[in-house]
Amino acid sequence: MFYRNVRSHLVVTRRDPILNGRKFPTMRYVPSLGAVVVLACMVLPVRSQEAVRMSLAAQQAAEARQRERSTPHYNIKLGPWTARFQSSFALEAVDNVRLSEDDRQADLILRPQVRITSSWQVTDQNSLSLSSGIGYAKYLQATDLDNFFITPGSDLSFNVLAGDVVINLHDRFSLSQEAYQEPTISGTGEFGRFENTVGTRVDWDLNRIIVTVGYDHNNYLATTPEFDYVTHASELFLGQIGYAAQETAVVGVEVGGGFTDYEQQVLNDLSQYNAGLFSRYQLSEYLNFRLSAGYTAYTPERNATTNVVSRANAIYGDLTLAHRPHEKFGYGLSFGRQIQLGIFSDTLDLFYARLHQTWHMLRKVNLRTSQFYEHAEESGANAEILDRFGVGLELGYALTQKLSATARYDFITKDSNFPTENYTQNRLVLELLYRF
């Protein structure tokens, strides 16, 4: 567990011998092309392979971004360029900002934010899009946790259509500090990281056969000095062949792989590959699902200071379902297993289940409920095995055509085989959103 004195930096006293007693230097911050473009756009009037340590929060943000882009509304139009600007202010009350069971600290957090979703139709066959949010979190008590953030799922994307080929160039980026988004972290509210993924994806439509290849370069940079050792770069590759059995159904095979290189020799560099099947079905206007399953293997190199190597070979899978059985009710379900890079170990074996429901019983009022469960196990000796459970309730109300209010409550509890890693957290958020 991490214990923090406000006047000194974190000292690792975690049970894993890889990290025991180490102190780590401060990293160099490297901005991305996408982040620079976002800042410029604040002043000036198809999906590729995900990063190898794609978190559940990032997946949810990507899905939310896709839903946002499907909304045709915009508030600025200059020729072929359209944009939608929004601003929000949130007041957040948290009863355990440092995720500690024994030394709980409550705080109020102020979160102003500006969001943009824009598109530029360069030609009839080429388009450039940008989606991002930038804000600041101000803690009234734990001021050492104050931070700027760029919302997960932010990206700059350029699409080119050439006959039957669609080429996508993208830069995806985020800047976050929320520690509760990582299952294995306890005892601190500060886990700063900047993620930037630059890559391309090519889809070739051969009537009923769809061939896809992709490449991503991912930089994962720790902005909290105590976690500098997780800073790394990954090269990721993707190949898919899909068969459109019907207009609404695609099945196929996929292969992928990559290499991860850490800046420091605390965790092992590793190579990874996966092979499996995937399918997508749009059974009706109100029901669709995605299914993927296969085999993945992570092979670490023996280059860390402890010379501990923990291979991870496992079956992965994911089933995602969206269903709207009634005009006033819908739900979504996602569950599966994935192997991802660890924070205190080479890899983390994660089983997850997420469920949400949307209710539209009253005009101008939206109600959303959610639940999630995670079971995770670190690789290597002296590994942590944990379970996390959470529930959420969100109520939204349209005050005017441009102004809406949201009240959201979230509860998370963690149960670990290391009792010092346990915690519970309650979070209440009140937010006003204005669409210009």
pLDDT in tens, 177-232: 999 999 999 999 999 999 999 999 999 999 899 999 999 999 999 999 999 999 99
Give the Å distances, CA to CA, from 116 to 74, 90, 153.
10, 17, 12
Helix (H) or strand (E) holding 396: strand 385-398
For residue 143, count CB atoms less than 10 angstroms from its CB and return exposed for 0-12, middle for 13-18, buried for 19 or more.
exposed
Who's near 337: CB < 8 A, 6+ residues apart? Answer: 314, 315, 316, 317, 318, 349, 350, 351, 352
- Checking if the pLDDT of 378 tops 60, the result is yes
Helix (H) or strand (E) holding 400: none
Contact (CB, 8 A) for 273 and 256: yes
For residue 366, count CB atoms less than 10 angstroms from its CB and return exposed for 0-12, middle for 13-18, buried for 19 or more.
middle
| The pLDDT of residue 388 | 98
Closest CA to 331 of 265, 272, 267, 287: 287
| The pLDDT of residue 311 | 77
Domains and CATH numbers, the chain: 2-435 (2.40.160)
Contact (CB, 8 A) for 226 and 12: yes
For the record, the structure tokens of 4 come out as 């923090």
Segment 248-285, tens digit of pLDDT? 899 999 999 999 999 999 999 999 999 999 999 999 99
Who's near 391: CB < 8 A, 6+ residues apart? Answer: 369, 370, 371, 410, 411
Give the Å distances, CA to CA, from 377 to 98, 149, 342, 383.
22, 29, 10, 7
Helix (H) or strand (E) holding 69: helix 56-69
Count of C-beta atoms within a 10 Å radius of residue 300: 23
Tell me if residue 41 falls in helix, strand or coil.
Answer: helix
| The pLDDT of residue 129 | 95
Helix (H) or strand (E) holding 66: helix 56-69
Q: How many angstroms separate the CA atoms of 157 and 66, rounded?
A: 12
For residue 180, give the DSSP letter. Answer: G
Across the chain, what does the average pLDDT equal? 85
For residue 362, count CB atoms less than 10 angstroms from its CB and return exposed for 0-12, middle for 13-18, buried for 19 or more.
exposed
Phi-psi region of 63 (alpha: psi -120 to 50; beta: other; left: phi over 0): alpha
Closest CA to 342 of 378, 313, 310, 306: 378
Segment 147-172, tens digit of pLDDT? 999 999 999 999 999 889 999 999 99
| The pLDDT of residue 436 | 87
Contact (CB, 8 A) for 135 and 108: no
Segment 31-81, tens digit of pLDDT? 444 444 433 333 333 333 343 444 444 444 455 445 445 445 678 888 899
* pLDDT-based confidence at residue 247 (cuts at 50, 70, 90): confident
* pLDDT-based confidence at residue 246 (cuts at 50, 70, 90): confident
Q: How many angstroms separate the CA atoms of 142 and 139, rounded?
A: 6
Which residues pair with residue 356 across a beta bridge?
332, 370
Give the Å distances, CA to CA, from 162 to 47, 125, 204, 212, 238.
18, 8, 10, 15, 21
Who's near 320: CB < 8 A, 6+ residues apart? Answer: 289, 290, 291, 332, 333, 334
Q: Does the pTM exceed 0.75? A: yes
Query: What average pLDDT does the segment 404-425 reach?
Result: 97
Tokens 């099945």: give the residue: 251
Q: How many angstroms separate the CA atoms of 304 and 265, rounded?
A: 4
- Checking if the pLDDT of 144 tops 90, the result is yes
Phi, psi of 317 (to 5 degrees): -175, 155
First to last CA, the chain: 45
